[in-house]
Structure 1
Amino acid sequence: MRRLLLCRHAKSSWSDVTLADIDRPLNKRGRRDAPLMGARLAMLGVKPDAIVSSPARRTRKTARYLAGALGFPRKMVLVIDEMYEASPASLLSIIRGFDNQVEQVVMIAHNSEITVLANQLGGLGIDNIPTCGVVALDFAVRSWRDIMKRQGIQAFFEYPRKVRNK
């Protein structure tokens, strides 16, 4: 059994238009929502073997917040350069390359690719994963390389507004 948690990065700031897209930080809401979602994932029993992130500043910071809440060593978050501006197909290739000793992975990336990938892998109809939203998919496979489209079973779909309203 493999569990893949697809996370859209927390809300980013557009206040400094001189920054390159990759350098945009989280805004106030993003800095509030990321720890909230980390706590929610911990409450749901998430214990990742790996956390992978795009190299964008906002995804790396989201990853650090989630790692802290989940008791995952922040220094062990793996930044994968190819995840920045990656297509859903490229993200799937990265997933298929995960080490098979790893059973549960949190992948923090960008929209619209993360929503498209969740829909493809789980056969879902999610219009949009909100910022800092997480879709958890379970796969009854022995190897990450065996993951196919429409094979994932949705374990949960959580996002900040839903968590705050509970």
Structure 2
Amino acid sequence: MTRRLILMRHAKSSWDDPTLPDRDRPLNTRGIRSARALGKWLAEKEYLPDTVLCSPATRTRETFEGLKLGVLPVKYPDALYHASTGVILDTLHQHGAGKCVLLLTHNPGCADFADRIVTSPHDHDAFFDYPTGATLVVDLPVESWEDAAFHSGEVVDFIVPRELTD
């Protein structure tokens, strides 16, 4: 059996209020537009998750809400806030459910995880930078999310919001 992972970095956040703690920064206008475009792209491509694992930060929550994917089971594990690659994998092992998981998190862990989860990286120029809103769709040859392992996934698709909004 194959499980599908959609790995997304949050959309562009606002720095308008320098007094806000990092965890509380919202999306800016471009980020809101990007989240909507990414949601439309996911729906058009039929990359629809069964469950969502989302960092509890405001910008990741707002990115998920902006995707407008409907009502889905969502968990907000504290561990995903600026998680390392190993923590992201552990979180997927512990909380992954269904055939397709959308995982929303932050760099640098998100970029490193994207590179390590696949057998070979996507040839997109932005793959290693993993800019805001970057989204990887990868198939993992596992029966259970607990079996997900580094260097096992096959890239299905990769996109950055600028390709959808510019």
TM norm structure 2: 0.91
The root-mean-square deviation of aligned C-alpha atoms, in Å, is 1.4
The corresponding residue for 2:93 is 96
Q: Could you say if the C-alpha distance between residues 31 and 47 of structure 1 is closer, same or farther in structure 2, counting changes exceeding 3 Å?
A: same
1:137 match: secondary structure: strand
Contact 2:14 2:28 (8 Å CA) reproduced: yes
Stretch of structure 1 that moved more, 124-133 or 104-113 = 124-133
The reply on whether 1:108 has 2:70 as its aligned counterpart is no
2:95 match: secondary structure: coil
Matches of 1:141 and 1:30, distance apart in 2 = 33
Q: CA deviation at 1:103?
A: 0.8
The corresponding residue for 1:11 is 12
1:154 match: secondary structure: strand
Matches of 2:81 and 2:155, distance apart in 1 = 25
Give the ranges of 4+ consecutive aligned residues of structure 1 lying more than 2 Å apart after TM superposition.
Answer: none
Amino acid at match of 2:117: L
Q: Where do residues 85-164 of structure 1 align in structure 2 (5 Å cutoff)?
A: 85-100=82-97, 102-122=98-118, 123-124=120-121, 126-164=127-165
Matches of 2:12 and 2:147, distance apart in 1 = 33
Contact 2:34 2:165 (8 Å CA) reproduced: no
Q: Residues 94-152 of structure 1: CA distance to partner in whole angstroms, max 9, x if unpaired?
A: 1112355x110001100111110010001326321121111011011101111111100
2:26 match: secondary structure: coil
Q: Where do residues 74-89 of structure 1 align in structure 2 (5 Å cutoff)?
A: 76-89=73-86
Q: Residues 56-83 of structure 1: CA distance to partner in whole angstroms, max 9, x if unpaired?
A: 00000001112x1x2x316x32211111
Structure 1: gaps of 5 or more residues:
none
Matches of 1:79 and 1:153, distance apart in 2 = 26
Structure 2: gaps of 5 or more residues:
none
Amino acid at match of 2:104: I
The reply on whether 1:73 has 2:106 as its aligned counterpart is no
1:17 match: secondary structure: coil
Contact 2:51 2:96 (8 Å CA) reproduced: no
TM norm structure 1: 0.91
